[in-house]
A and B are shown apart, each in its own frame.
Chain A
Amino acid sequence: MTADQILFFIFGGISLIGAIAVISFRHPIYSALSLIVTFFSQAGLFVLLGAHFVAAVQVIVYAGAIMVLFLFVIMLLNLGTLSAKGVMTGKLKGIAIVLGILFAAQGIYIAANVFKDTEVGSPEAIERAAALADNPIETYDIGVLLFRDYLLPFEVTSLILLAALIGVIVLVKRENRVEN
């Protein structure tokens, strides 16, 4: 095994353990922290694929910004530990089972169709990953893609975000007026 492969299994393992921990912990703070662990090790996987910029953005946006807001909400609402029974009762349980089966079916379908030609860990797959890691995607390339080749979709996305931003401000302002 090369160093890259060892690192892949370390990062992949940690991110799986983190993901399982998210749904296993009964306290929301612990779940949120496990999710950060998962995001962070996924950034490690991006680095292994030579996508350094994506890795940094993954940490800045997901681990650094979004999860802080999650933690804020959990702390300010002072959510306690879930009871032993959990939240899955009655109708919710039925819905959960149906959705779970659908999700599993999707997973199996994808696994069967996408991975059937390239066995995971096959020589070609390793070669391709190594080629990616040797030629890191430069930030320059991403800039060219975003601001030249895909300029219109990029601008449309930013408009959508702007709309959301304005929406938030309007909502917050309205609440203030009632208080005053």
Chain B
Amino acid sequence: MEINLLEQIVIPIIKILFIAHLLIIGVMAMIWSERRVSGWMQDRLGPNRVGPQGLLQPIADGIKFLFKEDLIPNHVDKPLYVLAPAMLLVPAMITIAVVPFGSSITIPGLENPILLQIADINIGILFILAITSLGVYGVVIGAWASNNKYSLLGGLRSSAQMISYELTLGLAIIGVLMLSSSLSLRTIAVEQGAYPWKWNFLIHFPAFLAFTTAMFAETNRLPFDLAEAEQELVAGYHTEYSSMKFAIFFMAEYMNMIVGSAVVVTLFLGGWHFFGLENVGGEGSILAGLISFAIFFIKTGIFLFVFIWVRWTLPRFRYDQLMNFGWKFLLPVTLTSIVVTGTLWVVVKENKQLWIGIGNVVAAFIVVAIVAGMLAMDNNSKSAVQSTPAAAPLRGLDAVE
């Protein structure tokens, strides 16, 4: 096996360094924009003292975190307590490796065009699901090692939530995979083409909504942030963490959001495509590569804004509502979406995408109506049998199991 030093080692390392730093800068930008946008939404200013428009605030925060005393409480399980933040951060960082952030650049003299992606592996989406499923350990271990009842409760809530919504996350993409018949994220993005009406979010609209919702739950963001519900659990699984360790938990959360947005953009919103703008200057030219990267960047940024928007708009779910929503609404909707997509794909001969899009939405409405009707009937019969006030908390327990 001959190793081409430039193409197989130098260029990948440059790509990795670039993306890793972009991710960290992205986290800082997110922290800044979250605080500014929330200020804007609540009709106040937000941080605007450090640097122009307060842009350097995240750096000041970072310096503060670094210079704080690194406190390790006496009652914790020390090795795991130290390990937990890293167990959350590392999966968050490496999932970006398979996300294509632009088309490709052809440079004369090199054998292959440079893909704007760290690794184009043929099981890309499975890789992402696999690595995100490891993220739950950081939460569970951090919660357990803290040896604090609030931490443990927060950790258990969070992991139960992550496991429940992981199913929706996995099932929601199956329709997309069926139509593009590939697991590679690059192929999925290319298949969608340049025009928004051919993108997956229209063809698989219910799955798109389910995937996005599940992603909010996976990243522990409002309205699904029960793991750190301040009023109930102090700060949830990172109650006992301070200084840089706490900052790492925080960074991991924001990185998950960024990677999640990038994945949604790739799977449902056409990746780096936008009305053929990504081919300005000829396919494979440096200009086209940069433009495609910019398009991807802007799309991801818009989606990240939605994250912030939702956080400062919606109130938190109750725990039984969360579980009911995940298991009784999202899961049936995604399962039906798979059946409908598969059936229409075989039955319909012309305009497949249009019919699948319509069929998915209709089926989703029917499923939601049926489930809502069943839940209403269930509630009626329950309240008829047990009119004691004790019935309400018990129903919550049912949902947990």
Q: A3-B1, A29-B144, A75-B144 are in contact. Are A64 and B122 (CB under 8 A)?
A: no
Which residue of the partner chain, among A2, A36, A138, contacts B1 with CB atoms under 8 Å? A2
- Contact status A56-B152, CB under 8 Å: no
Q: Which of B80, B131, B133 has the most CB atoms of chain A within a 10 A radius of its CB?
A: B133
Report A113 CB to chain B, min CB distance, Å.
32
**Bound: A71/B160 CA distance, A:** 12
Task: Note all chain B residues with C-beta closer than 8 A to A139.
Answer: 122-123, 183
- Contact status B126-A56, CB under 8 Å: yes
A136 at the interface (CB under 8 A from B): yes
Within 8 A of B (CB), among A47-99: 52-53, 55-57, 59-60, 63-65, 68, 71-72, 75-76
- Contact status A176-B126, CB under 8 Å: no
Number of residues in A with C-beta < 8 Å to the partner? 29
A172 at the interface (CB under 8 A from B): yes
Task: Note all chain A residues with C-beta closer than 8 A to B1.
Answer: 2-3
Of the 9-residue stretches B25-33, B135-143, B212-220, B371-379, which lies at the interface with chain A?
B135-143
Within 8 A of B (CB), among A17-33: 29-30, 33
Q: Which residue of B lies closest to A172 (CB)?
A: B401
Task: Note all chain A residues with C-beta closer than 8 A to B130.
Answer: 43, 56, 59-60, 63-64
A118 at the interface (CB under 8 A from B): no
Which residue of the partner chain, among B123, B137, B159, B166, contacts A36 with CB atoms under 8 Å? B137
**Bound: A176/B144 CA distance, A:** 28
Q: Which residue of B lies closest to A71 (CB)?
A: B140
Q: Which of A53, A60, A136, A138 has the most CB atoms of chain B within a 10 A radius of its CB?
A: A60
- Contact status B137-A75, CB under 8 Å: no
- Contact status B80-A29, CB under 8 Å: yes
Task: Note all chain A residues with C-beta closer than 8 A to B133.
Answer: 59-60, 63-65
Report B74 CB to chain A, min CB distance, Å.
17
A135 at the interface (CB under 8 A from B): no
**Bound: A57/B131 CA distance, A:** 11
**Bound: A72/B126 CA distance, A:** 24
- Contact status B163-A60, CB under 8 Å: no
- Contact status B80-A68, CB under 8 Å: no
A29-B80, A33-B80, A57-B126 are known contacts; what are 17 more A-B pairs with Cβ within 8 Å?
A: A3-B1, A3-B3, A29-B77, A29-B141, A30-B80, A55-B123, A56-B127, A59-B131, A63-B130, A63-B134, A65-B133, A68-B136, A68-B163, A72-B156, A75-B152, A138-B122, A172-B401
10 closest residue pairs by CB, A with B: A64-B133, A56-B126, A59-B130, A60-B130, A52-B123, A56-B130, A56-B123, A75-B144, A71-B140, A60-B133
Q: Which residues of A contact B (CB under 8 A)?
A: 2-3, 29-30, 33, 36, 40, 43, 52-53, 55-57, 59-60, 63-65, 68, 71-72, 75-76, 136, 138-139, 172, 176, 180
